[in-house]
Amino acid sequence: MLAVYGSANMDVVAYVAKAPKRGETVTGRAFHTIPGGKGANQAIAAARAGAEVAFLGAVGDDAFGVELRRTLAGAGISVERVRTVPGPSGVAHIVVDDEAGNSIIVVPGANGMLTGPDAADRALLARADALLLQLELPLEAVVAAARAAREAGVRVVLTPAPVVELPAELLECVDLIVPNEHEAAGITGSADPQDALSALLDLVPEAVVTLGGRGAVYGSRAGTRLHEPAVPVRAVDTTAAGDTFVGALAVARAEGREPAEALRFASAAASLAVRRHGASTSMPHRHEIDDVLSARLAGLNNRTEV
């Protein structure tokens, strides 16, 4: 079982030709509410990739909270340890325009009220193969969850996003860190992925740096270095590619796969996610990931796009 202690947000997305200036009102083209947040995204990615998943987090006592809980449960995720707290759920207010791209306001809401795992959360964490953490919750809550996992001998996988200064008390509990190249550069000060990987291994035993369409690199203190190229696909929307990659990677490792095989599995999953729009809407199911891997094995990808 994989446990995710993280954020659940409702993404409220307005599509408009030109974003309004201060004081201006414009008419939008379309509006969507889409469940998101890095924690919920990773939980859904891992569940679709084939793991039993428990989500630990908080939603508000509003309609978005009901919808977020329903979405997680609908993906087959255990929501027993999702609290409903007074006030609004976490919201990402996103304006997508035709000119400058996206502007986003994240209001943490219920996510911001988490302070760390309670006794029931700890009991559940202790049964997990791994705990997936991101940094969209208060840092002290993330540190407390990492400590609880470490004390129970449970592997901790950290996605260090958004970038914040990482306290030593968190890093000492982390087994595997998975930043993208910008986050890796922010943490280590090195723009070169291999140099960043070396610097990350001074902090934690294993690291993966994802490189978008250039794939991902892996390193361990034991001396292994790997590069997994991205599966060549026609990318239409890379939203949540990273969360899909991490969710699938954690599933493969929990199944006992070696790092090289786990990277291939994660890369196949992420390649499917970038071929489709949205976050949770784009995350692949296990049989789709297995199909990509079989096609690669058969060498089909050497000749054609999948």
Can you give the binding site for ligand ATP, defined by CB under 6 A? 180, 210-213, 215-216, 230-231, 233, 235, 238-243, 245, 267, 270-271, 274
Closest separation between CB of residue 25 and ligand ATP, Å? 31
* Cβ proximity to ligand ATP, 78 vs 111, nearer residue: 111
Amino acid present at 85: V
* Cβ proximity to ligand ATP, 128 vs 270, nearer residue: 270
Closest separation between CB of residue 248 and ligand ATP, Å? 10
* Cβ proximity to ligand ATP, 59 vs 230, nearer residue: 230
* Cβ proximity to ligand ATP, 125 vs 274, nearer residue: 274
* Cβ proximity to ligand ATP, 116 vs 193, nearer residue: 193
Helix %, strand %, coil % of the chain (to 5): 40, 25, 40
Closest separation between CB of residue 283 and ligand ATP, Å? 11
Closest separation between CB of residue 258 and ligand ATP, Å? 18
Radius of gyration of the chain (CA): 19
Closest separation between CB of residue 91 and ligand ATP, Å? 19
How many angstroms separate the CA atoms of 57 and 302, rounded? 43
How many angstroms separate the CA atoms of 4 and 156, rounded? 10
Q: How far is CA 241 from the centre of its chain?
A: 8
* Cβ proximity to ligand ATP, 87 vs 162, nearer residue: 162
Take residue 217 and report the two structure tokens written for it.
């690199």
Closest separation between CB of residue 71 and ligand ATP, Å? 18
How many angstroms separate the CA atoms of 278 and 211, rounded? 20
Active-site residue, from 11, 97, 121, 243: 243
Cβ atoms of 39 and 57 within 8 Å: the answer is yes
Beta strands in the chain (DSSP E): 2-5, 9-16, 30-36, 53-60, 82-85, 90-97, 102-107, 130-133, 155-158, 176-177, 206-210, 216-220, 225-228
How many angstroms separate the CA atoms of 72 and 157, rounded? 20
How many angstroms separate the CA atoms of 41 and 102, rounded? 19
What residue number has its CB nearest to ligand ATP?
242
- Is 243 a known active-site residue? yes
First to last CA, the chain: 31
**Which residues are part of the catalytic machinery?**
243
